[in-house]
Structure 1
């Protein structure tokens, strides 16, 4: 089973869902806001993706953090911020066959699901 992690109003999530549906790939959607995100889950995903890739510094949520939170970021601090503010997690994260992937493009999804 494939799981798509994100927030439903995100344009990239909408594109990823559309691609999965068009290619008849059965999947579940995990809504960060409704279903939550745990620090344990973030710590289990981070070794495959890297916390730097997971943290969306361009989004509104990150920009609205106080300067103290934005400075001296390391893995532990970043993952704690992501657990507290799931909208800062870059989207989508996709779990397929026990591996995690981040982001969406047609070519990337072709590689993930046609290999």
Structure 2
């Protein structure tokens, strides 16, 4: 499993601690430090859609001028996410072909299933 997030994000720290407490093996990718590829973004957009992937409650979103805020279509969102990877809702969990975003009870249940 690969977990994408930002080291300073409270939710990401909580998720990583939760994974470690359960000995769930995972690789960590920091979106801010390591960046994110266009292929990753496209895969996530296809799997969960722009409404789930874009964090419209983030500081980055609020700092964007209204004209810069994309319509919630994958084609419009992709370049904005490339320019501002902190707009990705975090953490992103990728296991095989499956992708989950956020750290809700549903995601935790999915993570515990082998």
TM-score by shorter chain over 0.5: yes
Instruction: Summarize deviations over 1:1-20 as a string: whole Å, max 9, x none.
Output: x1110100101101110110
The residue number in structure 2 matching 1:111 is 110
The residue number in structure 2 matching 1:86 is 85
| Distance in 2 separating the partners of 1:41 and 1:34 | 15
The residue number in structure 2 matching 1:4 is 3
How large is the RMSD of aligned CA atoms in angstroms?
Answer: 1.6
The residue number in structure 2 matching 1:17 is 16
Q: Is the 8 A contact 2:51 2:72 kept in 1?
A: no
How many residue pairs match? The answer is: 114
Give structure 1 stretches of 5+ with no counterpart: none
Distance change (3 Å), C-alpha of 1:81 and 1:38: same
TM value normalised by structure 2: 0.90
| Distance in 1 separating the partners of 2:61 and 2:35 | 18
| Distance in 2 separating the partners of 1:74 and 1:107 | 25
Runs of 4+ in structure 1 off by over 2 angstroms are 71-74, 105-108, 110-115
